[in-house]
Structure 1
Amino acid sequence: MRGAGDRIDTSTAHSARVYDYILGGKDHYLVDIEAGDAMCRHWPALPVHMLENRRFMHRAGRFLAQEQGVRQFLDIGTGLPTAPNLHEVVQEVAPESSVVYVDNDPIVLAHARALLQSSPEGATAYVDADMHDPDAILGSPQFRSLIELDEPVGLMIIGILHFILPPDDVRLVRRLLEPLPSGSFLALTIGTADFAPEEVGRVAEEYARQGMDMALRDLPTATSFFDGLELLDPGVTQVHKWRPGPEQNGIDDRAIAMYGAVARKP
């Protein structure tokens, strides 16, 4: 049986490793460094953009745990472990919280034990699966054992949707929401070129050259992902403007190419 390390392709860049490199991590290879450097030449604001996407996840997770009482989370497209991870954020508020992480990148799998350091009162699990196969996620032993479908769930889809191309995108989000009970929440970030179209367009072209096609959405398209759900204030906005803290002061809108929102399932 092949291990996670046997599946890691170091000959081509990978989005999770490029993200890790740009944010100052250490789990990447030369090919990811070269790709990340090229992207940052196209758009020097890329590190700020990526950091604010991560900070949105922290604020949204904390908001759901602290203000909405959510105690179980499904995190799709987890990425490489970067402290604080989602379980660290929500278990700081509510130690009994459970988090199921999902990613299909073998390098994430290789480091998944860092995602499994739960508080004694709570629990975490890691599912090696792809968002394109939601039934594998929802049918996994980890999901079935940790997620109770008579209690609200926080579905987190952060920094991955721009790699899910139409027409699959809406269908996959809906399929993941389908079994979750009323009172569950969707926290979603959506890539856009609305604020720096030339620079972000060049970054998207660089991703495509590296074999990672992207779909960037305008505001009406981004908002359509929440059809049928109850958007919470402030609605769909750039991620640094969603319930911002002091660290968001002074950020230039042109440095952020991501919409974000949290919505409740009625």
Structure 2
Amino acid sequence: MSVESRYLDVPGAKLHYEVRGRGPVLLIIPGGPADGSMFGPLAEELAAEYSVVTYDPRGLSESTRDNPDEDVTVAEQADDARRLLYEFGPEPAYVYGNSGGAITGLELVTLFPGRVKALLAHEPPLTELLPDREEQRVFGEALLAVYREAGAVAAFQRFISDTGIVPSADGQDESGQVPPELEALLARMVPNLDLFFGHMFRAIVGYVPDLDALRGTSTRVVVARAATTDGEIAARTAEALADSLDQPLGILPGDHGGGGVSPAEFAAALHVLLTWK
């Protein structure tokens, strides 16, 4: 499958994005310090049905921003996604957001509902919806303290171990081996970690969705969790959002990463949820 690599100037930044396939537009929004390349295999699978757009959010990987000292807001991220969608015409598009990217998707639907036909929000980390939100706030502040005192990699190791999204604190499984998917994940994310912890983290963990706007939007909003994350923080937040919107919770194969390990199986399930009526 051919891949077109492009750039888009947006206020205060330049976005790098890639396009695969033909058909209705499907924008994939990565979360946290992740970039568009992490969803390349998934995009390849989806390209038979969609024009799949993957991108690096502002300041991450190949995307740049004019002022590296500014914080990145969720509204700013949503506006970037809106401007990117307009590159493909005025018709509403499909959107898949993973983790923090799902929060961007929710804000996109809230601010610009006419741009999105259907949003699949996969495990958005909406800790403010949880009954133990105060405990989560304490954890977030402790994580930022680790970042300030020991650096971004140490904070990321603490983050992935305490949230349960990877096997253990040191990234090893029970056999003592680092899973290949985790090794690749860490390698891609490390250059982006200072921006994530220094200028993105607070906006993501403090985000409170406009539930009334989401209930009343013309966009079909589908909330999903991963099949293997029962009891983990991101699964709990997905469940809380689905409950708040009074809708069933979708289940997608794999883990919190959202399609990186079994992209063919994940793509098939994603297509069903996006197009189910």
Provide the TM-score with structure 1 as the length reference. Answer: 0.30
